[in-house]
């Protein structure tokens, strides 16, 4: 009953013309920011923050949240069209999204990304509305040992991301873990692998590596072929540019998977959308009947991570609004915004400001509908980008990559790093090393090392802390199970051969 | 108005800026305010608030824009300011990290002393908090419990050069108790670890703690400040609680590039003084539960030297290698 009353009040807040307008402004800005690689939601919200001082706080939070979840819709665009991950959370989308584009199915990939975002984004808001307080309590039972187990589970997925050779995938993952260790060690303040470069003290930016290895590697590899014809075909006719009914049916599980994994990981203060997208991709592949086709342009491989990425937003707002605890860069700045407007975010925030909470929740439902309406018509438009001939498209990808990296940090050093990782990506392609495990290792490495060392500091060096806690024990066993899957495959193949003989 | 008076007026307008110039420096184009965090970081939010206040209260004749130079734990921003030697239109916001990073990282070559200190603006106090259902009613209880179980109790905090760990080192040294210190990169994770019951104690910012105390999640044992904060009238300071350890301030302030004339230093020092007197600034300080820490350029330089010496000693005691 309380929820119905809250919803009713929320509608009266969110449907006020001014708030509807701000909601639209937010999701529109979010879409634009999402499409542009580099300029992410934290930067946009920070820049707009001064403008919100003279606004009504409800309208302001509705708009800023709109930028936050709106950006996640657009994030997949450059991943699919150009293999340029705009944010860390859309790296996974490159794997199958870009392959779909190469097969002339860019429209379907972009369309399913929008639909999955809508479905999972809405589920995320539902979760925020229905289970926020109890879930926030559950999220608090997660600490370093559980995070270590969660990251191990993520890293175990490397065997699923491997191409033909597991050894090469593991090697790539190790390089990723090594890159993650560059910088100042949090616990001892010692510099690691900085080679006297002060720019490396704070580590290597994830997006620089991802854009280098994926996009630049692709451009360099394609420079070798001298064909003048456009490499990617785009089908004619609007109907062929959108996902088919069969596509949507194929993605039924991916929608649910993305929505749930994304939301749950989002509620953890040490989670984040990158881990959420990798986990849901891995889960999708693990249970899929066409596992071996993943990485060649499978539509679920786009739907699951894109869904997780969007549902993560609803999850991330749970600890922020129920406890005043930010879990990511964007929620940290939303917290700062609430304080600047004179609120005190914390456990009493929702009971004391129900109109603001419910207004925000309902505006997110409305905003998600707006985003779907805004993004689907853009699909055929964006798909036309691929009609450009290679001699225009690849320089364009190069330009987008350079500008994207430069807007993140404004540093020439990062541009040099981008070139180095571009070269690495090219060599890996030539030598048939998969790029995804490297990115996975990089995404999880720092957090995993931290969680392990924190756990051991908590237990005074006892490794048993990792398995004596139930949640962490379950996740670690799952990780081991996933690692054993390829062995079962090998065993099966050997058994079949033996039977034939 | 006759032509003559019109001409006179024009002449007066033409003369006016020159008389101002004769008195000293005044910015003539957009001022860059350099911060060491990306958009949304603590310094960035403060810088954007300063830019808004400066515009609203007409403290500057030109606009002020925030320039983000993240990376190198503040070393990149400090190096950027050092490169801008003599530039009258660039200033920066420093925090405690700017003081600590050059102490422990050989790669960070620019110290605050190599730049031009302008003014200290903010002091961030802290409180020592435990879970509301913890058995410790006073800081003395916690210290006793730590003495009984050496190394068993845990504190969550930032990196080992952060103020949280410095407070721990000072308390450990003066009492002989020992407890573990677990670093978390994000403030959210530190609080989650405390409320989730995974650690026993945290040095927390009053603004973060306030709501959890009101909701009955946390209890404050002592405050790390010279005077009791308005929001915690019943909580003793470290000294009042019987722990005579130096209060380590968390500071924020303004620096300029090296090699700027005295007139420019005076101008920015005056800008900071006027800034801290505005109603908007006072409200900002109160909302965030900061302390007004205004200090002019000369005092700031002295503060810096004392702070660095003390930090070096504390870090060496804690087993952290210092390089300067």
Domain residue limits, chain B: 26-123+249-317, 126-224
CA nearest to A306, candidates A327, A277, A284: A277
Closest residue in chain A to residue B103, using alpha carbons only? A189
User: Which CATH fold would you assign to the domain B26-123+249-317?
Assistant: D-Maltodextrin-Binding Protein; domain 2 (3.40.190)
Tokens of A123: 């589920």
Kindly report the nearest CA distance between residue B137 and chain A, in angstroms: 22
pTM exceeds cut of 0.90:
no
pLDDT score at A232: 62
Q: What residues in B contact A204, CB-CB < 8 Å? A: none
Kindly report the nearest CA distance between residue A481 and chain B, in angstroms: 28
CA of A399: how far to CAs of A37, A497, B204, in Å? 11, 51, 44
pLDDT score at A66: 94
Tokens of B215: 């909701």
Kindly report the nearest CA distance between residue B317 and chain A, in angstroms: 13
How many angstroms separate the CA atoms of A137 and B169, rounded?
32
Contacts with B, A 265-324, CB within 8 Å? 269-270, 319, 323-324
A466 interfaces chain B, CB cutoff of 8 Å = no
CA nearest to A49, candidates B81, B252, B275, B284: B284
Q: Answer whether B269's CB lies under 8 Å from B118's CB.
A: yes
Question: What is B284-317 written as a DSSP string?
Answer: HHHHTT-EEEEE-HHHHHHHHHHHHHHHHHHHHH
CA nearest to A398, candidates A428, A413, A419: A419
Kindly report the nearest CA distance between residue B195 and chain A, in angstroms: 7
H-state helical runs in A354-435 = 354-375, 378-383, 390-409, 412-430
Pick from A53, A269, A348: which is nearest to B192 by CB? A269
pLDDT score at B5: 47
Q: What is the pLDDT along chain B (324 residues), one digit of tens a residue?
A: 344 444 444 444 444 444 444 458 899 999 999 999 877 777 888 898 899 899 888 999 999 999 888 888 888 899 999 999 999 999 999 998 898 889 988 888 899 889 999 999 999 889 999 999 999 999 999 999 999 999 899 999 888 888 888 899 999 989 999 999 999 887 788 899 999 999 999 999 888 888 898 888 999 999 998 889 888 999 999 999 999 888 887 899 999 999 999 999 999 999 999 999 999 899 888 888 888 889 999 999 998 888 888 888 888 887 788 888
pLDDT score at A65: 93
Residue B100: exposure state from Cβ atoms within 10 A (0-12, 13-18, ≥19): buried
Closest residue in chain A to residue B37, using alpha carbons only? A409
With CB atoms and an 8 Å threshold, state whether A42 touches B52: no
Pick from B42, B161, B188: which is nearest to A189 by CB? B161
Q: What is chain B's alpha carbon radius of gyration, rounded to the nearest angstrom?
A: 23
Contacts with A, B 50-79, CB within 8 Å? 51-52, 67-73, 75-76, 79
Q: Residue A80 in 3-state DSSP?
A: helix
Tokens of A337: 């915004």
CA nearest to A157, candidates A466, A446, A434: A434
Q: What is the largest CA-CA distance in chain A?
A: 80
Q: What residues in B contact A189, CB-CB < 8 Å? A: 104-105, 159-161, 320
* H or E element, residue A308: helix A300-323
DSSP B237: B
Kindly report the nearest CA distance between residue A366 and chain B, in angstroms: 26
Give the dihedral of Cα atoms A419, A420, A421, A424; nearest 10 deg.
Answer: 120
How many angstroms separate the CA atoms of B169 and B315, rounded?
9
With CB atoms and an 8 Å threshold, state whether A344 touches B211: yes
A184 interfaces chain B, CB cutoff of 8 Å = yes
B26-123+249-317 and B126-224: identical CATH topology: yes
Q: How many residues does chain A have?
A: 501
Pick from B45, B51, B184: which is nearest to A336 by CB? B45
Q: Answer whether A278's CB lies under 8 Å from A440's CB.
A: yes
Closest residue in chain B to residue A457, using alpha carbons only? B182
* H or E element, residue A9: helix A2-14
A51 interfaces chain B, CB cutoff of 8 Å = no
pLDDT score at B10: 45
Q: What residues in A contact B108, CB-CB < 8 Å? A: 198, 201
With CB atoms and an 8 Å threshold, state whether B107 touches A191: yes
CATH class as words, domain B126-224: alpha beta
Q: What is the pLDDT along chain A (501 residues), one digit of tens a residue?
A: 678 888 888 888 889 999 999 999 999 999 988 888 777 788 888 888 888 888 889 999 999 999 999 988 888 888 898 888 877 788 899 989 998 988 888 889 999 999 999 999 999 999 998 888 888 888 888 889 999 999 998 888 887 777 778 889 899 999 999 999 998 888 888 889 989 888 888 889 888 999 999 989 988 888 877 665 555 666 666 667 788 888 888 899 999 999 999 999 999 887 788 889 999 998 898 888 887 888 888 999 999 999 999 999 999 999 999 888 887 778 888 888 888 888 888 888 888 898 899 999 999 999 999 999 988 888 888 888 777 887 888 888 898 889 888 887 778 899 999 999 999 999 999 999 988 889 889 988 888 999 999 999 998 888 899 989 999 999 999 899 888 877 777 777 777 788 777
Tokens of A442: 């990089």
* H or E element, residue B146: helix B139-148
Tokens of B265: 């230093």
How many beta carbons lie within 10 A of that of residue B17, not counting itself? 12
With CB atoms and an 8 Å threshold, state whether A460 touches B180: yes
How many angstroms separate the CA atoms of A265 and A262, rounded?
5
CA nearest to B203, candidates B244, B177, B170: B170
CA nearest to A90, candidates A311, A255, A315, A277: A277
| A64 Rama sector, left if φ>0, alpha if ψ -120 to 50, beta otherwise | alpha
**Which residues, 6 or more positions from B112, have their beta carbon under 8 angstroms from its beta carbon?**
B78, B94, B98, B99, B102, B255, B304
**Which residues, 6 or more positions from B131, have their beta carbon under 8 angstroms from its beta carbon?**
B194, B195, B197, B200, B217, B218, B219
Q: What residues in A contact B39, CB-CB < 8 Å? A: 42-47, 333
Kindly report the nearest CA distance between residue A386 and chain B, in angstroms: 33
Q: Dihedral sign, CA of B154, B160, B165, B169?
A: positive
């Amino acid at each position: 009953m309380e929820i119905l009353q809250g919803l009713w009040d929320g509608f009266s807040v969110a449907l006020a013309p001014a708030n509807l307008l701000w909601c639209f402004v937010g999701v529109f800005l979010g879409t634009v920011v999402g499409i542009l690689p580099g300029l992410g939601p934290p930067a946009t919200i920070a820049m707009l923050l001064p403008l919100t001082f003279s606004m009504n706080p409800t309208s302001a939070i509705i708009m800023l949240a709109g930028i936050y979840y709106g950006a996640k819709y657009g994030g997949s665009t450059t991943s699919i069209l150009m293999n340029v991950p705009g944010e860390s959370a859309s790296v996974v989308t490159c794997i199958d999204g870009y392959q779909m584009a190469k097969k002339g199915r860019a429209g379907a990939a972009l369309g399913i990304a929008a639909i999955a975002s809508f479905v999972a984004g809405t589920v995320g808001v539902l979760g925020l509305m229905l289970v926020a307080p109890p879930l926030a309590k559950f999220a608090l039972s997660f600490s370093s040992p559980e995070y270590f187990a969660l990251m191990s589970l993520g890293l175990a997925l490397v065997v699923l991301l491997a191409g033909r050779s597991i050894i090469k995938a593991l090697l790539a993952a190790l390089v990723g873990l090594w890159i993650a260790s560059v910088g100042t060690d949090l616990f001892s303040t010692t510099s690691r692998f900085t080679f006297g470069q002060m720019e490396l003290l704070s580590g290597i930016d994830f997006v620089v590596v991802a854009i280098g290895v994926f996009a630049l590697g692709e451009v360099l590899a394609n420079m070798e072929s001298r064909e003048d014809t456009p490499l990617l075909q785009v089908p004619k006719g609007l109907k062929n540019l959108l996902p088919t009914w069969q596509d949507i049916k194929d993605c039924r599980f991916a929608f649910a998977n993305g929505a749930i994994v994304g939301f749950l990981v989002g509620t953890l203060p040490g989670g984040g959308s990158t881990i959420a997208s990798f986990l849901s991709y891995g889960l999708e592949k693990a249970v899929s009947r066409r596992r071996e086709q993943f990485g060649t342009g499978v539509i679920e491989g786009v739907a699951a991570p894109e869904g997780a990425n969007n549902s993560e937003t609803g999850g991330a707002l749970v600890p922020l609004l129920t406890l005043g605890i930010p879990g990511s860069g964007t929620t940290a700045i939303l917290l700062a915004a609430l304080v600047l407007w004179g609120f005190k975010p914390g456990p009493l925030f929702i009971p004391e400001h129900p109109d603001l909470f419910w207004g925000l929740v309902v505006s997110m439902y409305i905003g998600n509908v707006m985003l779907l309406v805004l993004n689907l018509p853009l699909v055929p438009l964006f798909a036309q980008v691929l009609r450009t001939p290679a001699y225009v498209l690849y320089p364009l990808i190069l330009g987008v990559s350079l500008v994207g990296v430069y807007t993140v940090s404004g540093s020439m050093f990062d541009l040099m790093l981008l070139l180095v990782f571009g070269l690495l990506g090219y060599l890996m392609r030539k030598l048939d090393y998969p790029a995804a495990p490297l990115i996975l290792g990089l995404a999880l490495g720092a957090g995993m090392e931290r969680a392990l060392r924190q756990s051991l500091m908590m237990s005074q060096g006892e490794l048993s802390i990792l398995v004596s806690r139930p949640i962490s024990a379950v996740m670690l066993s799952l990780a081991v199970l996933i690692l054993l899957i390829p062995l079962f495959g090998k065993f099966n193949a050997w058994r079949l051969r033996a039977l034939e003989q | 108005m006759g032509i003559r008076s019109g001409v006179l007026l024009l002449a007066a307008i033409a003369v006016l800026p020159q008389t101002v110039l004769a008195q000293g420096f005044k910015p003539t184009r957009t001022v860059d305010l350099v911060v060491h965090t990306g958009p949304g970081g603590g310094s960035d939010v403060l810088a954007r608030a300063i830019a808004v206040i400066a515009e609203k209260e007409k403290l500057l004749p030109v606009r002020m824009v925030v320039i983000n130079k993240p990376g190198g734990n503040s070393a990149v921003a400090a190096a950027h300011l050092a490169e801008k030697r003599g530039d009258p239109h660039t200033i920066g916001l420093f925090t405690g990290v700017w003081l600590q990073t050059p102490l422990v990282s050989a790669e960070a070559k620019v110290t605050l002393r190599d730049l031009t200190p302008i003014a200290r603006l903010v002091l961030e106090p802290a409180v020592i908090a435990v879970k509301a259902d913890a058995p410790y009613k006073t800081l003395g209880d916690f210290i006793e419990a730590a003495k009984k179980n050496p190394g068993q109790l845990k504190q969550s905090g930032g990196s080992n050069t952060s103020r949280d760990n410095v407070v721990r080192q000072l308390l450990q040294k003066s009492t002989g108790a020992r407890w573990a210190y677990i670093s978390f990169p994000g403030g959210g994770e530190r609080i989650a670890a405390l409320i989730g019951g995974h650690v026993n104690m945290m040095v927390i910012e009053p603004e973060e703690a306030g709501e959890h105390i009101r909701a009955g999640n946390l209890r404050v044992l002592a405050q790390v400040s010279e005077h009791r904060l308005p929001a915690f009238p019943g909580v003793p300071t470290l000294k009042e609680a019987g722990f005579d350890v130096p209060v380590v301030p968390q500071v924020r302030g303004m620096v300029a590039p090296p090699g700027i004339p005295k007139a420019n230093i005076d101008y920015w020092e005056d800008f900071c003084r006027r800034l801290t007197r505005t109603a908007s600034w006072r409200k900002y300080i109160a909302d965030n539960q900061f302390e007004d820490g205004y200090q002019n350029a000369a005092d700031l330089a002295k503060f810096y030297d004392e702070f660095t010496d003390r930090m070096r000693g504390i870090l060496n005691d804690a087993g952290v290698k210092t390089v300067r």
